[in-house]
Chains A and B, each alone.
Chain A
Amino acid sequence: MNERPNMRTPFPSPHVREGKEGGVSAGLSNRDAHTLTSTSSPQGGGEQVELLRHVRRPLPHDSGIKHVQGVAQYIDDIREPEGTLHVAIGQSPKARGRLISLDVSALRSVPGVVAVLTAADIPGKNDVSPAFGDDPLFADEDISFLGQALFAVVATNRDVARRAVKKAVMEIDAEAPSITVEDALERGETVLPDYAYGRGDPAAAIARAPKKLEGQFRVGGQEHFYLEGQIALAIPGEDGDIHVYSSTQHPTEVQHVVARVLDVPDAYVTCETRRMGGGFGGKESQATQWAVTAALAARVTGRPCKLRLDRDDDFILTGKRHDFRCDWTVGFDEEGRIQGYAVDLLARCGYSADLSSGVVDRAMFHADNAYWMPAVRIASKRLKTNTVSNTAFRGFGGPQGMLAIEHVMDRIAWATDRDPLDVRYANFYRPGENLTPYGMEVEETDTLLNLVRTLEQTANYRVRREEIAAFNASSPIMKRGLALTPVKFGISFTLTHMNQAGALVHVYQDGSVHLNHGGTEMGQGLYIKVAQVVAEEFGIAMERVRITATTTAKVPNTSPTAASSGSDLNGMAARIAAGAIKKRMTAYASEAYGVPEEQIDFRDDRVFVGNQSLSFDELAKKCIAARVQLSEAGHYKTPKITWNREKGTGRPFFYFAYGAACSEVIVDTLTGENRLLRADILHDVGRSLNPAIDIGQIEGGFVQGMGWLTTEELVFSREGHLLTHAPSTYKIPVASDVPADFNVALYPNENREETIYRSKAVGEPPIMLANSVFCALADAIHALDPSQPVPLNAPATPEAILRACEALRGRPMG
Chain B
Amino acid sequence: MVRDTIRFWRNGQAVEVSGFHPRTTLLDYLRLQERRVGTKEGCAEGDCGACTVALGRIRGGRVHYEPINACILLLGQVDGAELVTVEDLAASGELHPVQSAMVAHHGSQCGFCTPGIVMSLFTLYHEGERPLSRDNVNDALAGNLCRCTGYRPIVDAALEACSGQADDSFSANGERTTQGLMRLADGRDVFVGNESRFFAAPASEASLAALYAQHPDATLVAGCTDVGLWITKAMMEIEKIIWLGRVAGLDAIEESSDALGIGATVTHAEIHPSLARIDPDLGEIMRRFGSVQVRASGTVGGSIANGSPIGDLAPVFIALGAELELRHGDAVRNLPLENFFIAYRRQDRMPGEFVRRVSVPKLKGDEAFRAYKISKRFDEDISSALGAFKFTLDGRRIAAARIAFGGMAGTPKRALETERALVGVSLDEPASWGEAMAAIARDYQPLDDHRASSAYRSTVARNLVFKALSETASGETRATRIAGRREALQAAE
Contacts and interface: CB of A to CB of B under 8 A. Distances in A.
Contact of A227 (B50, B106, B479): B50
B50 A670 contact: no
B460 A226 contact: no
Contacts of B150: 696, 699-704, 733, 738
A804 B98 CA distance: 44
Contacts of A674: 482
Interface string B463-493: 1101100000000000111110000000000
B482 to A, nearest CB: 5
Contact of B147 (A5, A163, A227, A478): A227
B185 interface: no
Interface stretch (B75-83, B376-384, B393-401): B376-384
Interface stretch (A339-347, A508-516, A724-732): A724-732
Interface in B129-151: 134-135, 137-139, 141-142, 144-151
B110 A278 contact: yes
Interface stretch (A64-72, A119-127, A325-333, A365-373): A64-72
A1 interface: no
B376 A736 contact: no
Nearest to B85: A70
Interface stretch (B32-40, B246-254, B277-285): B32-40
B145 A668 contact: no
A735 B49 CA distance: 13
Chain B's interface size range is 35 or more
B112 A478 contact: no
Nearest to A703: B150
A69 B86 contact: yes
A63 B108 CA distance: 9
B112 A277 contact: yes
A352 to B, nearest CB: 25
A671 interface: yes
A276 to B, nearest CB: 6
Interface residues of A, number: 95
B30 to A, nearest CB: 10
Contacts of A670: 460, 463-464, 466-467, 480
Given A278-B148, A727-B43, A735-B138, A802 B235 contact: no
Interface stretch (B3-11, B88-96, B351-359): B88-96
A802 B456 contact: yes
Given A68-B99, A68-B114, A802-B460, A727 B109 contact: no
B62 interface: no
A407 B380 CA distance: 30
B244 interface: no
A277 B380 CA distance: 22
A70 B145 contact: no
B218 interface: no
A658 interface: no
B456 A803 contact: yes
Interface stretch (A133-141, A207-215, A520-528, A551-559): A520-528
A6 to B, nearest CB: 5
A483 interface: no
Contacts of A103: none
Nearest to A276: B110
Instruction: Indicate the member of A8, A61, A736 with the most B CB atoms within 10 Å.
Output: A736
Contact of A673 (B39, B87, B141, B482): B482
A584 interface: no
B482 A478 contact: yes
Interface stretch (B260-268, B314-322, B342-350, B447-455): B447-455
A69 B86 CA distance: 6
A6 B90 contact: yes
Given A723-B449, A727-B48, A738-B151, A228 B141 contact: no
Contacts of A723: 449-450
Main SS class of interface, A = loop
Interface in B21-57: 31, 35-45, 47-48, 50
Contact of B142 (A525, A702, A732, A735): A735
A225 B376 contact: no
Contacts of B115: 67-68, 70
Nearest to A13: B104
B459 A802 contact: yes
Contacts, number: 279
Contacts of A476: 479
Contacts of A229: 42
Interface stretch (A74-82, A421-429, A608-616): A74-82
Contacts of A666: 482
A706 to B, nearest CB: 9
A140 to B, nearest CB: 26
Given A675-B483, A798-B374, A736 B145 contact: no
Contacts of B467: 477, 670-671
B113 interface: yes
B26 to A, nearest CB: 15
B469 to A, nearest CB: 12
Contact of B450 (A58, A74, A715, A733): A715
B209 interface: no
A170 interface: no
B472 to A, nearest CB: 15
B37 A77 contact: yes
Interface in A757-814: 797-799, 802-803, 806, 813-814
Interface string A197-233: 0000000000000000000000000001111110000
Given A69-B86, A727-B43, A729-B450, A735 B141 contact: yes
B87 A70 contact: yes
B47 A799 contact: no
Closest 10 CB pairs of A and B: A70-B38, A523-B110, A277-B112, A67-B111, A703-B150, A523-B109, A723-B450, A70-B86, A727-B47, A699-B150
Interface of B: 31, 35-45, 47-48, 50, 85-87, 89-90, 93-95, 98-100, 102-104, 106-115, 118, 134-135, 137-139, 141-142, 144-155, 233, 235, 372, 374-382, 384, 449-453, 455-456, 459-460, 463-464, 466-467, 479-483
Given A63-B108, A803-B456, 20 more contacts: A6-B90, A26-B152, A64-B111, A68-B107, A70-B37, A70-B40, A76-B41, A77-B37, A275-B110, A280-B147, A310-B233, A311-B45, A476-B479, A523-B111, A523-B112, A670-B463, A673-B482, A700-B109, A713-B450, A735-B151
Interface of A: 5-8, 12, 26, 58, 60-61, 63-72, 74, 76-77, 79, 162-163, 166, 224-229, 275-280, 310-312, 475-478, 522-525, 666, 668, 670-675, 692-693, 695-696, 699-704, 711, 713, 715, 723-724, 726-729, 731-738, 740, 742, 744, 797-799, 802-803, 806, 813-814
17 contacts: A26-B152, A64-B103, A64-B108, A68-B86, A68-B114, A476-B479, A478-B480, A668-B482, A670-B466, A696-B149, A696-B150, A700-B147, A713-B450, A724-B450, A734-B145, A736-B142, A740-B134
